[in-house]
Structures are given as structure tokens and as C-alpha cells.
Amino acid sequence: MIKKSDISITTWILIAFSIINIIFLATGKLEFNAKGIGIITAVAITLAMYSFLYKDNPVFKIAENLFVGVAMGYSLIIIWYNILKPDVFEALIVPMFKDTVIGPQYSVIVPTILGLFMFLRFSTKLSWLSRWSFAFIVGMGSGIAIPNFINAILLRQLEPMFAPLYTGSFWGTVNTLLVLVGVVSVLFYFFFSLEHKGAIGGVSVIGVWFLMIAFGASFGYTVMARMSLLIGRMQFLLKDWLGIIQ
């Protein structure tokens, strides 16, 4: 429900924003070109997004939906210029109609057809053809994953666990032992086929402690990450727009 006070606040903010930018443009603080107008547009979008912190409002929803549309449009154009144009259009279709140094790359026909089959997913009669494309990708991905994951993750991550416990120093040895205990106890915790009782329950509890420390560390890093994003936006507003920091 939009209240009169909300409309009045929005109007005053818009007026203040416009006045600030007109002053910046008039005094030359922001150039009256694509770059200057771009900064003003970026600031408007940023402030529209931050208006959500006051409360959910139409300005935020407009900015959010605009972002979704622009992001999707950008991805589609990039796919055209980076994938479809060089790998399909110029590799296969153009050489069929024009004399080029390298002839048509006929090997591209099969993936192009399978790619087009994917679009048939939305057809009621022919959607089953899209299954062939998905089966190709999923089957290939699964086959590639098995040996690579066994080698690169399973074996390579188990390798350090088989290194000698004694590393030459007391604390090094303690830490190595703790890592071994931690990995084993966490793996015990995640093995739900056996009831967590008795000895298994005891080991699982140790696993939970290790998990809690890890999650606490992850929370700390997550706070760091989100605050960094905020700091970046503030730097943009204060430096690139207002010019009050160097």
C-alpha cells in the first residue's frame, strides 16, 4: 500500500538527486558526456536498489526488474558474438554461401542440430527430441567426471592424510593429528546409514565440533565478503559521483 508520505519522500529525494546532478554537470564536476551521464545513471540505479533498506517500494522493484531484463539481454548478445557467430555462423553457414579460405566445418552440424533440439523442449509434440540433447550432455559430463574426480579430488585429498604424522615439530604433529581426527570424525558424522550411538556417536560429536568451527569461520568470511561489496559501492558513491574522497 503506497502512502502519501512515501510519495512525498520519493518526490523530495528525486528533486534533491536532480539538483545535485544538475549542479555537478553545470560546475564541470561531472562531464556532460556518456561517462558523466553514465555515472548519474549508475548512481540512480544504486540508490534505487538501496531504497529497499527503508522498505520495499516501486522504485526498487522497477530497478530490480530492469536489471533482470538487461542482464538476460546482455547474456544473449554475448552468446551470439562469442559462441554462435564464430562457432556456428562463420564456421558452417557463411562458408556454404561465400568463398572463404577454410571451407565449411561440417563437424559443427551435429552439435547445431542437437542444440536446436533443445529448443523443442517447449513444444508439446516434439519435446522428446530435446531429451537426446540433454542425454548427450549429461552422459558425457558423467563419463568425464568419474575418473577425473576420483583422481583429482578423492585420491589427491586422501594423499596428505597418509603422510607421516610426525612432521619434525611438536605443534606440527599435533596439527596433523587434529586434521586426521577432524576428517575422520566429520566423515563419520555424515554417514547416516549407521545410527549415531555409542562409539560412532562419540566420534560424530567430535565431527560436529569441527563442523561448527568451520561454519563459524565461514560465517566470519561471509561477513567479510558482504561488507566488501558494500565498501565497494560506497567508494563508488563517494569517489566517482560525489568526489569527496580521493
Restricted to residues 94-153, the positions that interact with other proteins (CB under 8 A) are: 107-108, 110-112, 114-116, 118-119, 121-122, 127-128, 130-153
* Spatial separation of the C-alpha atoms in residues 157 and 141, rounded to whole Å: 22
Grid cell digits, residue 185? 570424525
**Shortest CB 215 distance to other proteins, Å:** 6
Fill in the DSSP letter of residue 245. -
In the region spanning residues 187 to 226, those forming contacts with other proteins, defined by CB under 8 A, are 187, 190, 207-226
CB distance 114 to 133 below 8 Å: yes
Please select the residue that binds other proteins; options are 9, 13, 29, 50, rule is CB under 8 A.
50
**Shortest CB 15 distance to other proteins, Å:** 22
CB distance 40 to 30 below 8 Å: yes
* Spatial separation of the C-alpha atoms in residues 30 and 56, rounded to whole Å: 31
Q: Which of 164, 162, 145 is nearest to 153 (CA)?
A: 145
Stretch that binds other proteins, among 3-11, 13-21, 24-32, 186-194 (CB under 8 A): 186-194
Please select the residue that binds other proteins; options are 1, 2, 199, 229, rule is CB under 8 A.
229
Please select the residue that binds other proteins; options are 24, 30, 91, 203, rule is CB under 8 A.
91
Q: Which of 113, 102, 104 is nearest to 136 (CA)?
A: 113
Give one DSSP letter per residue of 194-218, joined into a string.
S---HHHHHHHHHHHHHHHHHHHHH
Q: Which is nearer to other proteins, 81 or 170 (CB)?
A: 81
CB distance 17 to 47 below 8 Å: yes
* Size of the residue set binding other proteins (CB under 8 A): 134
Please select the residue that binds other proteins; options are 15, 156, 201, 243, rule is CB under 8 A.
156
The answer to the question of residue 81 lying near other proteins (CB under 8 A) is: yes
* Spatial separation of the C-alpha atoms in residues 226 and 198, rounded to whole Å: 41
Please select the residue that binds other proteins; options are 22, 100, 238, 243, rule is CB under 8 A.
238
In the region spanning residues 2 to 21, those forming contacts with other proteins, defined by CB under 8 A, are none
Q: Which is nearer to other proteins, 29 or 37 (CB)?
A: 37
